A and B are shown apart, each in its own frame.
Chain A
Amino acid sequence: MSDVPTSTPPETTGAPEVPATVATDGSSPGPPKPSAGEAGRSVAKALLDAVLEGSSVVVTILAIFLAFVVGGLLIAFTDPTVLHAWGSFFSNPGNALAQTWDSAAGAYSAMLEGSIVDPHTVSAAFHGGSIAAVFNPLSETAVNATPLILAGLSFGVAARAGLFNIGAAGQFIGGAMIAGWIGFAVHLPLVIHVIVAVLGGFVGGAIVGWFVGFLKARTGAHEVITTIMLNYVMEYLILFLLGLSVFRQPGRPDPISPPIAPNAELPHLFGPNLRVNAGLLIALAAALGLWWLLERTTIGFQVRTVGANPSAARSAGMRPEWVWIIAMLVAGGLAGLAGSTVVQGTDFVLTAQIYGTYGFDAITVALLGRARPGGTVLAAFLFGALNAGGIQMQASTQIPVDIVTVIQSLVVLFVAAPPFIREVFRLKTAKAKAAGEVEAKGWAA
């Protein structure tokens, strides 16, 4: 991956406490490179050091683990049975602990059943049940991950250019609006319709993103403010449009569009019983394309350089303003694609709430993936699995699905704070960094 030290938020959060030579980018999953003084030692020793000192991969795993522990405690101690058992802790301590374990474990196993595999469907399949049912949890995970990958890439590409894109929600709406409109109002032949609608989604998001970049480049308007404001503008815009007869489903009093034409639906990948669809391929292709763009092209080099240091980039003859516009255009387009995969892949109608929580999920996913395309894909699958599992968990155990949001926020919080994880797990403190090397980003890009 790149050797250019960037000052994008995700990296600086991870970077300061990690020795510079230990791989700081989360996307290289192999054993961390031994640091300079340890070159001669065995790989095993280096690996052990990485674990003890907490390389970024180890920290990430521990952070996820800790988030699940805290989530489990929260589940257990809001469960009336558990609280009751703890009420008689001194007469029967074993029962209290067992109840606590059962409560949390029950929730998490329900989550696994909803996101990976449900043993019941496997045994049923052996007795002539549906094969598709076995793969349904995995399909749901993939379906949930698809828009998260795209939205996460959107935040990531802006972050690599040093921009903080909180506007994925607004860009998502822009994409969903155009993809949806092409879907239900335009009549095109098979294959062409779906492609045109997806491209429309990209364009819709890209316009919103471009506007942010344009304003920043021309007037210096801070992207944090303009993206937040555009989120609201787009939320009201879609509400307004859904009130017009052009966008309104006939005979429905609530703001909902007509369903998109079957030609515009993203095709299912594995038969009609599994919801996983071609949107997943779009998302993975986008991740690959973005990796190529960032790491293998001149534009990508400029994006990374401007993200690292706009003044230096200007001195080197690059134009940060132009790079900001390009980066926001691509970021907006990716968020727009996320919108199109939701409209064309799962929802098939436009509603006023279609943007859901994707705006902030984009940020958390990208932060967990350290703004790298590969890391973002992995993080999106983790969060997709949590979302899919959370729905199953709520259905079978009545534990509110919001616990997933808590766990997700804790994962990102802990991943962003390696020193905190090291303190909790008593890892050796990594070689102290000089004070000057701490460089979190302020408001000024």
Chain B
Amino acid sequence: MSAGTAVMAARRRLVIERRFVIGGLLVAIGLIELLVFGRVAVKGDAVFTFTLTGAKVNIPNLTLPAGPTSTIIGAVTTALGLLYVAVDLPKVPRRLIAGVSLVGLVAAVLCWADASRIPFPFVALLASTVASSIPLMLGALSGALCERSGVINVAIEGQLLLGAFGAAVIASAFGNLWLGLAAGALSGGLIALLLGLFAIRYRVDQIILGVVLNVFASGITGYLFDSLLVPYANRLNSPATFNPIKIPLLGDIPILGPVLFDSTVFLYITYVVIALVQIGLFSTRWGLRVRAVGEHPEAADTVGINVLLTRWRNVLLGGVVAGIGGAYLTIGSVGSFAKDMSSGEGFIALAAMIFGRWTPLGGVAAALMFGFATALANVLGTVGSPIPSDFLLMLPYIATIVAVAGLVGRGRPPKADGQPYVKA
């Protein structure tokens, strides 16, 4: 704001630049699809299956000649990219072009990867996407809950990890999965308690605090794992796991049924939390107050909203939500706890939340994108694709960098995010 004209000039340059960069990127992608995927690499057909064994409705397999399909997709993408550069399009067509090109890229990659190999299990890919996104979605929601009230939550990783630990130990010791789920939620809440104590009460810088709490969670679970869980593995670290529950009727819908309505209780909890957080934050009095506290705590205080109480409540709620996500890592999927098993998913969730511009639905969408890339790498590994899996696993992170640098632009955090509040 200080140097207005300079900033405006820089911004205008940026807009022009962005048009050329994105357009150029699309053309480049199109040419790669056209020349590499379409001509050199691909021989034979790619077969996609859409039904799992035992489904009631059978959808025929889709067989695509890999080469020609990639060529067509590449030609279309190149044309769209040229259009993007040549014409200064309004927002909606611009986004449409970007979206279509991305879907095309995924399709071309799938064709290339699956040509002349075993049929590609499309439903399994989607189901695996949703499953691996559960902790990411819950983590992103936890972040949104905290940050909308003005407390930065970098400790999602620690909340996931301690949640996973607590759920595994309690579920194993008491032989009760629901007790384990509750323990996971409370363990996430425990990290949130420390976050709230030091951020709200002692006003420690919140980004630092989050990083330190993650290190703490890693240390304490690692220490307890070696000193207790290894010697008493049978009693303390061999929990059962939740079984999938198929929802009647909905679970039989072709493609969508097995993906969305035939999963463990964690997915259904996630649906509920998504709805509650989205509606709660944007359509209720509570949400309005939370957002007021996150944007302008002094104003909120003036009209009688208890700023610190609101922040405490949201931080603890966030911790519980992330703790459930952590519980999924143990009693929702693999069962027993392993050291540092959250392996950076909390940071991905954080990035997803920022990527989704501090909105619950945006964060969930970004989390699904990350989940898709992980699932894709796994499925392609089983199909035996020619792409090195390391590169594939790199993709979502590169995509995020491209997105924050160009496509998405600057997201705006809540104005008072990270600022401790002291009543005047």
Interface residues of A (CB under 8 A from B): 9-10, 12-13, 16, 74, 78, 164, 166, 215, 218-222, 224-226, 228-230, 232-233, 236-237, 239-240, 243, 311-312, 314-315, 360, 363-364, 367, 399-400, 402-410, 412-413, 416-417, 419-420, 435, 438-444
For B206, the chain A residues whose CB sits under 8 A away are 440
Known contacts A225-B354, A416-B205, A440-B418; A406/B219 CB under 8 A: yes
Q: Are A405 and B218 in contact, with the CB atoms below 8 A?
A: yes
Which residues between 382 and 415 of chain B lie within 8 Å of chain A, taking CB atoms? 388, 390-391, 393-394, 397-398, 400-401, 404-406, 409-410, 413
Q: Are B393 and A435 in contact, with the CB atoms below 8 A?
A: no
Chain B min CB distance to A387 (Å): 12
Chain A min CB distance to B193 (Å): 13
Q: Are B211 and A442 in contact, with the CB atoms below 8 A?
A: no
Q: Are A237 and B203 in contact, with the CB atoms below 8 A?
A: no
Chain B min CB distance to A151 (Å): 14
For A312, the chain B residues whose CB sits under 8 A away are 2
Q: Are B390 and A239 in contact, with the CB atoms below 8 A?
A: yes
Known contacts A219-B405, A222-B354, A443-B417; A9/B207 CB under 8 A: yes
Known contacts A166-B211, A405-B219, A406-B223; A225/B198 CB under 8 A: no
Considering the chains assembled together, what is the distance between the CA atoms of A417 and B419 in angstroms?
15
Chain B min CB distance to A430 (Å): 14
Q: Are A78 and B209 in contact, with the CB atoms below 8 A?
A: no
Our pick among B223, B351, B401, B418 for the contact of A442 (Cβ within 8 Å) is: B418
- 7 A-B contacts (beta carbon < 8 Å): A218-B14, A221-B401, A360-B211, A400-B223, A405-B216, A412-B212, A439-B419
Q: Are A233 and B219 in contact, with the CB atoms below 8 A?
A: no
Q: Is the CB of B302 closer than 8 A to any CB of chain A?
A: no
Known contacts A13-B204, A74-B223, A409-B216; A315/B413 CB under 8 A: no
Q: Are B207 and A441 in contact, with the CB atoms below 8 A?
A: yes
Q: Is the CB of B222 closer than 8 A to any CB of chain A?
A: yes
Known contacts A315-B2, A364-B215, A416-B208; A222/B418 CB under 8 A: no
Known contacts A400-B226, A438-B422, A442-B418; A219/B413 CB under 8 A: no
Q: Is the CB of B3 closer than 8 A to any CB of chain A?
A: yes
Considering the chains assembled together, what is the distance between the CA atoms of A215 and B404 in angstroms?
9
For A218, the chain B residues whose CB sits under 8 A away are 14, 405
Our pick among B3, B203, B208 for the contact of A314 (Cβ within 8 Å) is: B3
Top 4 A-B residue pairs of the complex, sorted by shortest distance between their CB atoms: A405-B219, A442-B418, A400-B226, A402-B222
Considering the chains assembled together, what is the distance between the CA atoms of A230 and B397 in angstroms?
7
Interface residue SS majority, chain B: helix
Chain A min CB distance to B15 (Å): 11
Known contacts A220-B410, A240-B388, A435-B423; A225/B218 CB under 8 A: no
For B3, the chain A residues whose CB sits under 8 A away are 311, 314-315
Q: Are A236 and B394 in contact, with the CB atoms below 8 A?
A: yes
For A226, the chain B residues whose CB sits under 8 A away are 401, 404-405
* Besides A228-B347, A416-B212, A441-B205, 11 other A-B contacts (C-beta < 8 A): A225-B351, A225-B401, A311-B2, A360-B211, A360-B214, A405-B218, A416-B205, A416-B209, A417-B204, A435-B422, A443-B418
Which residues between 123 and 143 of chain B lie within 8 Å of chain A, taking CB atoms? none
* Smallest Cβ-Cβ distance to A411: which chain B residue: B212
Our pick among A236, A410, A444 for the contact of B391 (Cβ within 8 Å) is: A236
Known contacts A315-B2, A406-B223, A442-B413; A229/B397 CB under 8 A: yes
For B202, the chain A residues whose CB sits under 8 A away are 417, 419-420
Chain B min CB distance to A398 (Å): 9
Considering the chains assembled together, what is the distance between the CA atoms of A367 and B416 in angstroms?
23
Q: Are B222 and A225 in contact, with the CB atoms below 8 A?
A: no
Known contacts A221-B404, A239-B390; A228/B351 CB under 8 A: yes
Our pick among B207, B225, B401 for the contact of A229 (Cβ within 8 Å) is: B401
For A219, the chain B residues whose CB sits under 8 A away are 14, 404-406
Q: Are A443 and B152 in contact, with the CB atoms below 8 A?
A: yes
Q: Are A360 and B215 in contact, with the CB atoms below 8 A?
A: yes
Q: Are A240 and B390 in contact, with the CB atoms below 8 A?
A: yes
* Smallest Cβ-Cβ distance to B3: which chain A residue: A314
For A243, the chain B residues whose CB sits under 8 A away are 388, 390
Q: Which of B211, B219, B354 is most buried by chain A, counting CB atoms within 10 A of its CB?
A: B219
Considering the chains assembled together, what is the distance between the CA atoms of A284 and B213 in angstroms?
29
Q: Is the CB of B267 closer than 8 A to any CB of chain A?
A: no
Which residues between 319 and 359 of chain B lie within 8 Å of chain A, taking CB atoms? 344, 347, 350-351, 354-355
For A232, the chain B residues whose CB sits under 8 A away are 344, 393-394, 397
The 0/1 profile, CB within 8 Å of A marked 1, for residues 196-240 of chain B is 001000111111110111111011101111111000000000000
For A16, the chain B residues whose CB sits under 8 A away are 203
For A228, the chain B residues whose CB sits under 8 A away are 347, 350-351
Known contacts A409-B212, A443-B418; A236/B393 CB under 8 A: yes
Q: Are B397 and A400 in contact, with the CB atoms below 8 A?
A: no
Chain A min CB distance to B161 (Å): 12
Considering the chains assembled together, what is the distance between the CA atoms of A203 and B271 in angstroms?
47
Q: Which of B207, B212, B410, B418 is most buried by chain A, counting CB atoms within 10 A of its CB?
A: B212
Considering the chains assembled together, what is the distance between the CA atoms of A434 and B393 in angstroms?
49
Q: Are A230 and B420 in contact, with the CB atoms below 8 A?
A: no
* Smallest Cβ-Cβ distance to A9: which chain B residue: B205
Which residues between 1 and 50 of chain B lie within 8 Å of chain A, taking CB atoms? 1-3, 6, 14
For B14, the chain A residues whose CB sits under 8 A away are 218-219
Q: Are B391 and A240 in contact, with the CB atoms below 8 A?
A: yes
Known contacts A10-B208, A220-B410; A405/B2 CB under 8 A: no
Considering the chains assembled together, what is the distance between the CA atoms of A315 and B1 in angstroms?
11
